[in-house]
Structure 1
Amino acid sequence: MKKIKYTGPLKNKALIALCSLIFMASCDLFSIKTEEEDPDNPIVASVGTANLYLADIDHISKDMTTTLDSAELVGRYIQSWVKKQLMIKEASQNLTLNEAEINRKLLDYRYALIAYEYEKNFVEKTLDREVTQPEIQGYYEANKENFALKEIIVRTNFIKLEKSLPQKRQLERLLNSNQEGQKEELKDFAIRYANNYFIEDSTWIKFDDIIINTPLTQNNNQVQLLRNEKLISVDDETYSYYFKILEYRLRDQVPPLEFVRDEISKIIVNKRRVEIAEKLKRDIYNDALENNEFTIYD
């Protein structure tokens, strides 16, 4: 392997060290043509007639905070480049290529990418992301069957506390109470005594999420449990777990609007996005048609 002689300085010492290591370890893979090198832009790797120059990788290290990060990224980039060039070389030797077809596909891809970027920018500038309650309600009513549940959801109050605490009767009384004042007392109780709690009785949540790390995960008949018990109490060796079930929905049932509100909002915004993109294409076409900017021949 020919030794590399650099007549011009490299700005990044890490690049010099890394490239030297790569060259030493890859003598059988790379053939470096020193006679073709620009002193200010030396070759760092080559495969056949394809060369990778320092200028092609110098940008990688500019935004890096440490020499180690820079060297590692440069190494990865060089290895990736070599693999791609080897694949291209292998393909050119074993595949009959239609250069005209390849060029046509490249042009198609380029034009598609330009159109995509313009469309994306136009849509993002035009899109109204504000979704009103009547819009959400209307979509929900028209598409209820599309929201059939795949899991059980509940509205519940949940308290986990140490099994040895003497305040269990007080907790059961608070959980069974429907008085507004005692709801605040339940929150105070949870803050003072509970190891974990969920006091959001207006919020729907997946049942599996609320019972995780409790003995209820071992219950194989959750449906019957929910149907028969409003206040569920289970213990393990250390803790007691209380679930006050206020309301539930089973698998394949339609969830309440509150549970799918965010999902519906995203669907409506995405529909707007599609409609804006389609209108943009129609408007461009109609404007060009009106101004005789194209001709279709029979």
Structure 2
Amino acid sequence: MHGIAVAGLLLALGCSQPEPDNPDDPVLARVYQRELRLSEMEGMFPEGATPADSAVIIEAFANRWARDAILLWESEQNAPSDLNLDRLVRDYRASLVRSSYEEQLVSTKLDSTITQEELVAFYEATKDQYQLEKPIVRCLFMRVPYPTPSEEALLDLWNNGKPQDTAALARYARRYAEVALLNDSAWYSLDEIAQQLPEGTLTADNVNSKREFSQLDGTYRYYFRLFEMKPRKEIAPLSYVENQARRAILHARKREVLERTREDIFERELRRDNIEFFTNR
């Protein structure tokens, strides 16, 4: 930023400045021995900003900087006498470098393909971990604004159950319904369905006695048909926890890749005599 622009900014800020040692890079704030200079704000000013606009940006940034700087100073004054900053910095740097390399390893060596057979085998071996915390239902559900467009035709489509009518029902839902869950093999949280209905309409206690109903509340007409319910503490079906199971499989593979690579590197460098132990002296 050239000198004329700097002068304009300082005038717009309307604040006193310390004796300048570099007029083109003035000090904007000082906290004890730390200084914030204008050059540190390079790239923060939008194109076409007036000196007044830039002054607002400078003032806000300087205020945030001063708050951070004074907190850092206070932290330094109260740091434990035995705090080894050099060691902390070394450990943090080592952690960052190691994490970056591990990410690179995972991106190049991890096989993310999971077959259906692998998924089923993993689920069968670990399904005790997938105990339901809340009831789930397999159902059809629609919420349509009232007055309901083509209501008689909708009722025919809803009640028929023929494949061609199921497709027509989906087309109707795309056009008119605010909520439509029409996959009869999908599982949903009962709470998720109940939240779409007037309060108290559907609960874990009454869902089995309200397996199918149509209900009107003056604003919406609701359609519900229950096929199956699984209560809490039962094992969730695979389709309900499939994404969770896939993540678990990939996490195990990632851990295996990293452990195998770590061991391979260790054995390689041990053979090259680049690792020495002196613990048996």
Which band: TM-score by shorter chain? 0.7 to 0.9
Question: 1:33, CA displacement in angstroms?
Answer: 4.8
The answer as to 2:37 corresponding to 1:48 is no
* Partner Cα separation in structure 2 for residue 140 and residue 128 of structure 1: 19
Q: Helix, strand or coil for the counterpart of 1:274? A: helix
C-alpha separation in 1, matches of 2:154 and 2:121: 41
**Where does structure 1 lack aligned partners over 5 or more consecutive residues?**
1-5
Provide Cα deviations, 1:221-268, integer angstroms capped at 9, x if missing partner: 723433233312222134331101122222222222111112211221
The 1:12–1:174 alpha-carbon spacing in structure 2 relative to 1, beyond 3 Å, is: farther
User: Cα–Cα, structure 1 residues 114 and 145, in superposed 2: closer, same or farther, change >3 Å?
Assistant: same
1:88 correspondence with 2:82? no
What is residue 274 of structure 2 aligned with on the other side? Answer: 293
Aligned to 1:257: 238
Residue type matched to 1:218 in 2? G
Match of 1:243 in 2: 224
Match of 2:3 in 1: 9
Q: Which blocks of at least 5 consecutive residues in structure 2 are unaligned?
A: none
| 1:69-127: CA deviation from partner (whole Å, max 9, x where unpaired) | 9766654443333223323333444556457x222222222222222222222222322
| Counterpart for residue 111 of structure 2 | 128
Q: 1:57, CA displacement in angstroms? A: 2.1
**Structure 2 CA distance for aligned equivalents of residues 66 and 251 of structure 1:** 61
Equivalent-residue separation in structure 2 for 1:87 and 1:60 (angstroms): 24
TM-score (ref. length: structure 1): 0.76
Contact 2:134/2:189, CA 8 A, preserved across alignment: yes
1:136-164 Cα deviation digits (max 9, x unpaired):
11111111121112222222222334666
Residues 228-237 or 142-151, more deviating = 228-237
Cα deviations by residue, 1:240-297 (Å, 9 ceiling, x for unpaired)? 3110112222222222211111221122112222222222322222222111113222
Q: Distance in 2 between matches of 1:146 and 1:163?
A: 43
- Structure 2 CA distance for partners of 1:102 and 1:195, relative to 1, 3 Å: closer
SS in 2 for 1:222: coil
**In the alignment, what sits opposite 1:102?**
85
Report Cα offsets for 1:37-84 as digits up to 9, x if no partner: 2344332222222222222221434xx567499766654443333223
User: % of aligned pairs identical?
Assistant: 26
Amino acid at match of 2:128: E
